[in-house]
Amino acid sequence: MDDFGWRPYVSVTARRRQAARLLSGLKKAGRVVSPVEIEGRRITTTFWGTAWCENLERYSDYANRLPRGRTYVRNGSVIDLQVSPGKVTALVSGSEVYEVNVEVATVPATQWRALRRDCTGAIDSVVELLQGRLSAGVMARVCAPRTGLFPGPKEIAFRCSCPDWAGMCKHVSAVLYGIGARLDSRPDLLFLLRSVDPQDLIAKADSGLRSRKARREKVLHAGNLSEIFGIDIANSSPRAVPPVRRKATRRKTS
């Protein structure tokens, strides 16, 4: 550290080499790691990853702190990121290796029921849901601030082992962006993180479709077929018609 207590500056190239070296050491030690790897300049490229980052950036509590982590996540400093129900644990390579923990609250039951109700019949399959192939209305509902699937600042708690006194250090910021990057390839992790089942949205829709189909079939069977098709149908059973006998004919021979 210098006279002001700051650690020496580490260039991007040196930071990348250090991250690669630390990652290799963890693998040799037998630890299963899942680094965040970014290709190109864009951190996210899919609906779910981009929606996660945009949700964070819309809150003024995070707007001033998040940019500090973009460089870190782009240069591979997040050398391990693990997602479990309600929690994300990560290792970030900086001047040292720092441990970051992010806790995310479960979606409130009333909020999840409202989301399920509003999406009834609008999502055809889990594949469609996870690929983000949703109508504009459903996408807006899922991404709605404070009532959608993404957490607000009061639903996120984090801590880092670094000496930075700031509420959100650059290592935490890098991990938050890293979550968005991870959702690009594993959108199901968002539902795991928020402790809800994506199948609930589909099951609700299937139930509605089945009930409507059952009502249509009931009407068809119970209705008056004569009125439906506009023809006269006798009430009695039709009599059997005897087979028609054909006269045998002899073939002429030449």
* Of 62-71, 75-84, 140-149, the least confident: 62-71
pTM to 2 decimals? Answer: 0.73
Residue 231's Cβ-side half-sphere holds a number of Cα atoms within 13 Å equal to 3
Q: Residue 238: pLDDT band by 50, 70, 90 thresholds?
A: very low
DSSP for 72-126 reads HHHTT-EEEEEEETTEEEEEEESSSEEEEEEEEPPPPHHHHHHHHHHTTTT---H
Q: Residue 93: pLDDT band by 50, 70, 90 thresholds?
A: confident
Q: pLDDT digits over 127-178, tens only?
A: 888 888 878 888 889 999 889 999 999 999 999 999 887 778 999 999 999 9
